Chain A
Amino acid sequence: MKKKLLSILLSATMALTAFAGCGASGNGGETASGGSSSSGAEEITWMFWDDLNATEDLISLGYKDVVDRFNKDYEGVYHVTPITTNLEEYYTKLNALVASGETPDCFIVSPGPNLTTYVEPGVAADLTPYLEADGWKDTFSSDSVFSQQTYDGKIYAVPLNIAAACVFYNTEMFANAGVEVPKTYDELLDACKKLKDAGYTPITISAGTAWCLSMLCAYLFDREGVDLKAMEAGTESWKNDKTLDAVNKMLELSQYFQETAAGDTNDVATAAFYNEEAAILIQGSWAIGQINGSNAAFESKCGVFQFPGLAGGNDPNRVIAKSDSLAMSSTTKHPEAVAALMKYFTDDTAQKYTAEKGGKIPVTKVSYDEEAAPAQLAYVMDIFGNATGTFGFLNESLATTEAGSFFDDTMVSIYLGNVTPEEGLQTIEDWYVDNIR
Chain B
Amino acid sequence: MNKLLQDKKAICIFVVPGFLLFTFVLFIPICQSIFYSFCNYDALTPPKFIGFKNYTMLLRDDTMKVALKNSMFFLVFSCVTQLIMGLLLAGLLTNIQKGRNFFKNVIYLPCVLSSAALGLLWMFIFSPKLGVNQLLKMWNIKGPLWLMDTHGFIILPMWVIGFVALWQYVGQSMMLYMAQISGISKTLYEASEIDGCSKAQSFRYITLPLIKPMVGTAMSLNAIGSLKFFDLIFNMTEGGPNHATEVLATHLYTQGFKYFKYGYASAIGVVLLVMCLIMTGLINAAFKTDQYES
A residues near B, CB below 8 A?
5, 89, 91-92, 95-96, 98-99, 117-118, 121, 123, 207-208, 210, 260, 262-265, 268, 400-402, 405, 409-410, 412-413, 416, 418, 427, 434
Query: Which of A96, A268, A418 is B242 in contact with, Cβ under 8 Å?
Result: A418
Q: How far is the CA of A427 from the CA of B243 in the complex (A)?
A: 14
When the two chains form their complex, are residues B241 and A402 in contact, meaning their CB atoms are under 8 A apart? no
Spot the interface stretch: B142-150, B170-178, B190-198: B142-150
When the two chains form their complex, are residues A263 and B242 in contact, meaning their CB atoms are under 8 A apart? no
Q: How far is the CA of A410 from the CA of B258 in the complex (A)?
A: 18
When the two chains form their complex, are residues A416 and B43 in contact, meaning their CB atoms are under 8 A apart? no
Contacts A401-B259, A434-B60 hold; do A95 and B148 have CB atoms under 8 A apart?
no
When the two chains form their complex, are residues B62 and A260 in contact, meaning their CB atoms are under 8 A apart? no
When the two chains form their complex, are residues A117 and B127 in contact, meaning their CB atoms are under 8 A apart? no
When the two chains form their complex, are residues A264 and B43 in contact, meaning their CB atoms are under 8 A apart? no
When the two chains form their complex, are residues B43 and A96 in contact, meaning their CB atoms are under 8 A apart? yes
Q: Which 3 A-B pairs have the closest CB atoms?
A: A95-B43, A409-B242, A260-B128
When the two chains form their complex, are residues A412 and B241 in contact, meaning their CB atoms are under 8 A apart? yes
When the two chains form their complex, are residues B44 and A123 in contact, meaning their CB atoms are under 8 A apart? yes
Residues in B neighbouring A427, C-beta threshold 8 A: 62
When the two chains form their complex, are residues B240 and A264 in contact, meaning their CB atoms are under 8 A apart? no
When the two chains form their complex, are residues B44 and A98 in contact, meaning their CB atoms are under 8 A apart? yes
When the two chains form their complex, are residues A262 and B148 in contact, meaning their CB atoms are under 8 A apart? yes
Residues in B neighbouring A260, C-beta threshold 8 A: 128-129, 145
Residues 143-181 of B, flagged 1 when their CB comes within 8 A of A and 0 if not, give 001111111000000000000000000000000000000
When the two chains form their complex, are residues A264 and B44 in contact, meaning their CB atoms are under 8 A apart? no
B201 → chain A, closest Cβ, in Å?
A: 48
Residue of B nearest to A93 (CB): B257
When the two chains form their complex, are residues A208 and B148 in contact, meaning their CB atoms are under 8 A apart? yes
When the two chains form their complex, are residues B259 and A402 in contact, meaning their CB atoms are under 8 A apart? yes
Residue of A nearest to B46 (CB): A99
Residues in A neighbouring B189, C-beta threshold 8 A: none
Highest count of chain B CB atoms <10 Å: which of A5, A98, A409: A409
A-B contacts besides A5-B13, A92-B260, 15 pairs, CB < 8 Å: A99-B43, A117-B44, A123-B44, A260-B129, A260-B145, A262-B149, A263-B146, A264-B128, A400-B259, A401-B259, A405-B259, A409-B241, A413-B150, A416-B242, A434-B57
Residues in A neighbouring B258, C-beta threshold 8 A: 92, 401-402, 405
Q: Is B32 on the interface with A (CB-CB < 8 A)? A: no
Residue contacts A-B, CB under 8 angstroms, 18 given:
A5-B13, A91-B260, A92-B260, A95-B44, A98-B43, A118-B44, A121-B45, A208-B148, A208-B240, A208-B241, A260-B129, A263-B145, A263-B147, A268-B129, A401-B258, A405-B259, A409-B241, A409-B243
When the two chains form their complex, are residues B148 and A92 in contact, meaning their CB atoms are under 8 A apart? no
Chain B contact surface mostly: loop
Q: How far is the CA of A118 from the CA of B151 in the complex (A)?
A: 40
Residue of B nearest to A258 (CB): B128
Residue of A nearest to B60 (CB): A434
Q: How far is the CA of A418 from the CA of B145 in the complex (A)?
A: 14
B residues near A, CB below 8 A?
13, 43-45, 57, 60, 62, 127-129, 145-151, 240-244, 257-261
Q: How far is the CA of A262 from the CA of B257 in the complex (A)?
A: 26
When the two chains form their complex, are residues B257 and A92 in contact, meaning their CB atoms are under 8 A apart? yes
When the two chains form their complex, are residues A262 and B145 in contact, meaning their CB atoms are under 8 A apart? yes
Residues in A neighbouring B57, C-beta threshold 8 A: 434
Residues in B neighbouring A99, C-beta threshold 8 A: 43-44
Contacts A263-B127, A416-B241 hold; do A89 and B257 have CB atoms under 8 A apart?
yes
Q: How far is the CA of A99 from the CA of B262 in the complex (A)?
A: 12
When the two chains form their complex, are residues A413 and B43 in contact, meaning their CB atoms are under 8 A apart? no
Residues in A neighbouring B240, C-beta threshold 8 A: 208, 210, 409, 412
When the two chains form their complex, are residues B150 and A95 in contact, meaning their CB atoms are under 8 A apart? no
Query: Which of B62, B150, B259 is A416 in contact with, Cβ under 8 Å?
Result: B150
Residues in A neighbouring B149, C-beta threshold 8 A: 262
B56 → chain A, closest Cβ, in Å?
A: 10
Residue of B nearest to A271 (CB): B129
Q: How far is the CA of A418 from the CA of B151 in the complex (A)?
A: 7
B216 → chain A, closest Cβ, in Å?
A: 39
Q: How far is the CA of A260 from the CA of B143 in the complex (A)?
A: 10
B63 → chain A, closest Cβ, in Å?
A: 9
Q: How far is the CA of A264 from the CA of B133 in the complex (A)?
A: 13
Residue of A nearest to B61 (CB): A434
Q: How far is the CA of A117 from the CA of B259 in the complex (A)?
A: 11
Residues in B neighbouring A118, C-beta threshold 8 A: 44
When the two chains form their complex, are residues B242 and A410 in contact, meaning their CB atoms are under 8 A apart? yes
Q: How far is the CA of A92 from the CA of B265 in the complex (A)?
A: 14
A282 → chain B, closest Cβ, in Å?
A: 19
Q: How far is the CA of A195 from the CA of B28 in the complex (A)?
A: 64
When the two chains form their complex, are residues B44 and A121 in contact, meaning their CB atoms are under 8 A apart? yes
Residues in B neighbouring A402, C-beta threshold 8 A: 258-259, 261
Residues in A neighbouring B261, C-beta threshold 8 A: 402
